[in-house]
Amino acid sequence: MGIPCIPRFCSHVQNATRAGLTMTSVPNTKYNLNLAIALHRAGYISSVTRGGPTPPDPETITTAVPEPVTYKNVSTRRLWLGLKYWNDKPVMSNLKSMSSSKRWVTASLSELHRLARGLEANQIPGLNLGESLFLTTDIGVLESREAIEKRRGGLLLCRVS
């Protein structure tokens, strides 16, 4: 599926946080899984669990063994994301997709340096306080500061605040 699933992922998760849901599901694709794990590493979501069409039990979510994926059930596999809230407000208030299937937005290492410092680079506004930028690189999906540490540029996926 690739890049077209990222805007859908972003809009779905943003709608779920605005609705106040504690858990939501997205299709189990490689891009969705990698972005969800990166969001989890950055502290924006509380859990990422593979499952079926019904949500996993919250008490056993960390110890539950997921059902194996087979050719018969591959279309029903979902990623269940635990959403975080602080003082009844979502941790992710805004989730905006940067690239789409028709317009790929890339950033080199020097452009990432400018963006992380809050400066505009290549018509992309710089990051504000409390904002994160996620991009896909040759070593996986990284937050912009991680990409700078590892000296990598890449395709911008989404912006989270």
User: Is 48 exposed, middle or buried (CB count within 10 Å of its CB: 0-12, 13-18, 19+)?
Assistant: buried
> Domain residue spans in the chain?
4-90, 98-160
Per-residue pLDDT at 56: 84
Per-residue pLDDT at 72: 82
Rounded to the nearest 10 degrees, how much is the dihedral formed by the CA atoms of 159, 148, 40, 88?
-50
Q: Which of these ranges, 30-39, 64-73, 77-86, 133-142, has the smallest mean pLDDT?
A: 64-73
Per-residue pLDDT at 73: 82
Q: Which CATH architecture has domain 98-160?
A: 2-Layer Sandwich (3.30)
Per-residue pLDDT at 2: 63
- N-to-C CA span, the chain: 26
- What's the rounded mean pLDDT across residues 126-135? 96
DSSP one-letter string for 1-44: --TTHHHHHHHHHHHHHHTT-SEEEEE--HHHHHHHHHHHHHTS
Per-residue pLDDT at 86: 95
The β-bridge partners of 45 are: 83
Q: Are 67 and 127 in contact (CB under 8 A)?
A: no
Per-residue pLDDT at 135: 97
Summarize pLDDT for 98-120 with one digit per residue, the tens: 998 888 999 999 999 999 999 99
Q: Which fold has domain 4-90?
A: Ribosomal Protein S8; Chain: A, domain 1 (3.30.1370)
Would you say residue 1 has pLDDT above 50? no
Q: Output DSSP code: residue 111.
A: H
